[in-house]
């Protein structure tokens, strides 16, 4: 149930949910370009590196991309583990697809290769997605160079690999130690912040989906939202929600600058 103060201003649901439905995802040019790059990586059986600041919308982009795939042709496994090691990586993938992993990392790697061969024989092309890639250990980063080896130098990779993480993941791969890994990246894509017009469009779109068909935030409030969120989706949604509630409780017809400032103060406390 939506709180009464929000219902009284015309909202039928929360306008800035953490995980909106697929058909309610806000789309902007940078997101569409990112999705096109991921689709290219999938079609070319490549290794995609996706980076962006926390809250920029990477997880939403991955949700949209995964939703676009046929799971019968592209079975996917999602891994987000700050303590990921080569052994745990192979174990997670094997267990996801119903294979009991061997204890030894070398044996688990062989099982992984056999699993990929089985998928290829069935005409399937799996997707492996590693999230929080900036937290990977040096050992796991180094292991990435071996993942798509099939034993045949000329063979196309049997799966697509996407590694997603914060912006400094790119800097990490510039180290000489990881040069061989960086050379295997076929697609690099990033998701930057929204512009001010895109911030306005995001807020307007979210409010419309929640039942508000009139301007609710003043231009000055939107400018302040954009400045303090730095155009990043998650902070923007959080700030807008708090500012909206502040205005509703004060029974003001519009969300103005002072409500945004209160929201900033609350969230930074």
**Helix (H) or strand (E) run with residue 78 in it:** strand 76-80
Total number of residues shown for the chain: 269
Average pLDDT over residues 227-232: 96
By the 8 A CB rule, do 131 and 59 touch? yes
> Is 210:14 a contact under the CB 8 Å cutoff?
yes
Residue 214's domain is classified under what CATH number? 1.10.8.60
Instruction: Give the span between the Cα atoms of 217 and 204, in whole angstroms.
Output: 9
Which residue range(s) make up the domain with 134? Answer: 29-191
Residue at 120 is within a domain: yes
| Residue 228 near residue 240, CB atoms below 8 Å | no
User: pTM value?
Assistant: 0.88
Over residues 27-37, the mean pLDDT reads 94
Question: What pLDDT is stored for residue 267 in this prediction?
Answer: 87
**Percent of the chain predicted with pLDDT > 90:** 64
- The string of pLDDT tens digits covering residues 93-148 is 999 999 999 988 889 999 999 999 999 999 999 999 999 989 999 999 999 988 87
Helix (H) or strand (E) holding 111: helix 105-121
Judgement on whether residues 107 and 68 belong to the same structural domain of the protein:
yes
Say how many C-beta atoms besides its own lie within 10 A of residue 39's C-beta. 15
- Tokens linked to 27: 């789309």
Place 269 in a pLDDT band, splitting at 50, 70 and 90: low
CA angle 224/218/233 to nearest 5° reads 45
Neighbour count for residue 77 (Cβ, 10 Å): 16
Q: What is the mean pLDDT of the chain?
A: 90
Q: 207-228 pLDDT, tens per residue? A: 999 889 889 999 999 999 999 9
Together in a domain, 204 and 132: no
């Amino acid at each position: 149930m939506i709180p009464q103060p929000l219902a009284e201003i015309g909202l039928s649901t929360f306008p800035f949910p953490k995980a909106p439905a697929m058909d309610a995802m806000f789309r902007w040019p940078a997101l569409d370009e990112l999705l096109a790059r991921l689709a290219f990586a999938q079609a070319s059986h490549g290794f995609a590196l996706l980076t962006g600041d926390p809250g920029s919308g990477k997880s939403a982009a991955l949700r949209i991309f995964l939703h676009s795939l046929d799971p019968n042709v592209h079975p996917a496994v999602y891994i987000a583990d700050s303590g990921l090691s080569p052994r745990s990586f192979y174990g997670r993938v094997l267990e996801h697809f119903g294979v009991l992993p061997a204890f030894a990392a070398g044996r688990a790697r062989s099982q992984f290769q056999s699993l990929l061969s089985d998928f290829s024989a069935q005409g399937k092309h799996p997707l492996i997605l590693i999230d929080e890639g900036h937290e990977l250990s040096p050992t796991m980063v180094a292991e990435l160079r071996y993942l798509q080896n099939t034993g045949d130098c000329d063979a196309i990779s049997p799966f697509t690999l996407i590694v997603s993480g914060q912006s400094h993941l790119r800097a990490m791969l510039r180290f000489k130690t990881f040069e061989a890994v960086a050379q295997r990246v076929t697609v690099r894509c990033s998701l930057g912040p929204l512009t001010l017009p895109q911030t306005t469009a995001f807020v307007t779109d979210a409010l419309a989906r929640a039942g508000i068909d009139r301007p609710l935030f003043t231009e000055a409030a939107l400018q302040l939202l954009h400045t303090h969120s730095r155009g990043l989706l998650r902070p923007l949604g959080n700030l807008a929600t708090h500012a909206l509630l502040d205005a509703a409780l004060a029974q003001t017809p519009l969300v103005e600058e002072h409500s945004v400032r209160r929201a900033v103060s609350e969230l930074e406390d």
